[in-house]
Structure formats: structure tokens, C-alpha cells
Amino acid sequence: MKFFFPDSQDQIDPSFHFATEERNAFRVRQRDDLYAHEVLTQAPFDGLLVSKAIVDGLASGAAGKYTGAQRHRLYREGAAKFFRLDNGHTPLEIMGDCGAFSYVAEEHPPYTVNEVIDFYDGCGFNYGIAVDHVIFQYEPATSRDDPRAAEWARRQEITLRLADEFWERCNARGVGFTPVGVAQGWSPQSYADAIVELQKIGYTRIALGGMVPLKTREILECLRAIDDVLEPGTELHLLGVSRVDDVPTFASYGVTSFDSTSPFRQAFKDDRDNYYTPTRTHVALRVPQVDGNAKLKARIRSGEISQGEAMKREREALTRLREYDAEEVDIDQALDALGHYSELWDGKSDRREQYRATLAARPWRDCPCDLCTEVGIEIVIFRGSERNKRRGFHNLYVFEQRLRAQRGRTTA
């Protein structure tokens, strides 16, 4: 089971100094900042998923994540050089998709088949996913003839028609990547119907879209229906789905790969599950910058509190956490400093017991990943992109370790 990590230009600056929060004055982001596969000795994924919408944006005006210079360099150099795959410690593959979530509200996909093929082939991807149109609803009892399914059926038909054109154009152009079809559906039967049509076209690798909001039980219902029509040798990819505990079951139904940003994004998007360990998660210790927290800045501007007092409490919280890590103060002194600062910016939340659990466990000391070994307690401090992204990379490392264990179960 291969894990592809969706790219969004997430890198860390190795010159960042945690005590002073300063960087190398001559740092050039694209040249000097590092991807997860460069930082970690064992790459925490098998490949990258690169979206055309992230790189190029949409014709409607929605911007991508890449600057003009980055976009041109990706096209000029190719993906392997741009992402510095040779600098990592593990061979990686690259899969391309259109970023259908970005244009879900539009009547039709905004890209032509040839534009997408140009993107995949021009960048030197290993796999390229056909143009698709997402169906978000899941109504297992609704048949194709039901009026409520009219829009869902239309989107499925668009996806299948574009898959047919994509297959023909890829063969005619002799592309260097493996074409991947997309099955969109709203029920187990509609997914199975799409698989049948894609296999007739010639696809032996098919991605299942629109499953992100589905419960595991619902995904398995679809996989069981698909299994009844799946031909030997056809491989499935789950788009945006990460259920590591279910990997052996997914594999038994022909799933050979998936992609997800969830382990990375939980580091700074989740309210509680910010730091992964092999057996549980921990909440990160929130110490926001005084000038980076909207609520705190508003209180300072209103004169309710002084900026000097806020900065004093901020520094004290960071100092006590580092002293706790060095065993120079006890856990209650660290918690008191955290609470004293939290009163200014997060007065409605009492995280003391959650913080106590994180501090008491000292999970960063037990983690062998390169980042925890290098930065210590800084990895569990929720503060700015340099700490938060490092924690996200750590989560990817732990996720990959758990996935490796599950892979062992699929071959046992």
C-alpha cells in the first residue's frame, strides 16, 4: 500500500533559530528550505501528489499555491529536479491530478484533456489522473433513474467521457506516465458501474474520488460492490482518504495506494490531536506570537492590556517550557507560565490538563525521528510555521511507521 503526500509547497527553513526566531539573512526559500523527504532519513511517504490547480490555479481567477517563478521552473526543470527527489534518502514517485475539489462548484471542469496531459507529461510525472468532476453526496439507496440523482449522474458521465478522451489522447501521444482513471459515484452500485466502464476503456489503475467525507463503513460498502466487478490486475487508489488502521481491509479489496494531508494538517489545524505517537496523539502547547494572534492584538490596541506585559508573559512561557525540558523546573511551573500567558489570548479555554498530559509524557524524547532529536520540546510548541510544519513532518513520519506495520499485516 503506497502513500502519496499532496504537495502544497510545504518546506522548513533549516537556518531558523528557535531561541531568537531569526533566519539566515541570505536564505533563498526555494534553494535553502527543505521538503519532508530531505529532512527525514526515511522519507515519510512513497511519493508526492501534485495538483494542477495548486500549481496553475484556475481560469476563474482562483490562485494556486505556486508563484509565477516556481511554476515556470517546475515546467522547465521537471518534477524530479524541482522537488529534489535525488536529495532524499528514499526513491519517490510523483502522481498528478487536476485538483477537482478546487472547482467543485463549477458547471464543468476548467481544464481540457490536452492541457492536463501537457502538465503531467511536461513535468515528468509517473502517474496522471484523468480529468474528473467530484460528487459529494452519498445516497446508497438512490438509483440512477431517481430525479435526485440527475446532477450526480451528469457529473459521473462527464468524468467517464473525459476518462475515455484522456485514455485515447494518452495512447495517441505516447505519454511517459501511467494514465489513471477516476470513478465518481454516490452509492456502492454507482461506483461499481463507473469501474465497469473504466475497465472497458482500458484502465488498469483507477482512483476513487469523492470519498473524503464518507465513514469507513461506507467506503467498505463501496469497495465490496466494486470487488464484484473488479478485474484481476486492476489497482485502486483512494483519493484523500487516510484510515491507516483499515489498510489490510482496503488492500484485500484491491486498494494499492492512497493520498492524504491529514497527518500533516492535524499538526496545526486540529484542536487536540496535534502530535502523533505510535499509540496516541497529544495536544500541542499553544504559545502564539504576540504580534501574530488576532485576539491578543485587539486587546492591546484597545488598551485593555499592554504590549510589554503580553511580551513578558510570552517570553516566560517559552523559557519555562525549555527549562522543563532541561529538568530545571517542575511541570507545575511550566503549566503556570503557559496558563498565565493563555489568560491574555485564550481566556475561554482551559487546556491545563491536556498540557499536563503532553508535558508529563515528554513524547519528543521517545521519538527517533530526525526532527524531534534535533529540536526537542520545540516540536510540540504550537507557534508559527517553522514549529508547526516540523510537527507536521513528524506526524508524517509516525504515520508512515504505522502504515509500515499495517503493510506487514497485509503480507502476513
Side chain identity at residue 347, one-letter code: G
163 vs 182: CA distance, rounded Å: 7
Q: Name the residue ranges covered by the structural domains of the chain.
A: 2-10+44-260, 271-399
Active site (catalytic) residues? 97, 259
pLDDT digits 0-9 by tens, 160-190: 999 999 999 999 999 999 999 999 999 999 9
Handedness of CA 146, 148, 150, 153 (dihedral sign): negative
Label residue 204 by pLDDT band (50, 70, 90). Answer: very high
Label residue 409 by pLDDT band (50, 70, 90). Answer: low
Burial of 126 (0-12, 13-18, 19+ CB in 10 A): middle
Q: To the nearest whole number, what is the mean pLDDT of the chain?
A: 94
Label residue 242 by pLDDT band (50, 70, 90). Answer: confident
**Percent of all residues in the chain with a pLDDT value above 90, rounded to a whole number:** 89
User: What was the pLDDT predicted at 410?
Assistant: 57
Q: Cell digits for 88?
A: 532524499
| Average confidence (pLDDT) over 45-58 | 94
pLDDT digits 0-9 by tens, 303-357: 999 999 999 999 999 999 999 999 999 999 999 999 999 999 987 678 999 999 9
DSSP per position, 64-126 = -SS-HHHHHHHHHH-HHHHTTGGGSSS--EEEEE--GGGGTTSSS-SS-HHHHHHHHHHHT-S
Label residue 87 by pLDDT band (50, 70, 90). Answer: confident
Residue showing cell 479489496: 253
The DSSP code for 368 is: -
Q: Class of the 2-10+44-260 domain?
A: alpha beta
Label residue 412 by pLDDT band (50, 70, 90). Answer: very low
User: What was the pLDDT predicted at 42?
Assistant: 87
Q: Is 233 left (phi over 0), alpha (psi -120 to 50) or beta?
A: left
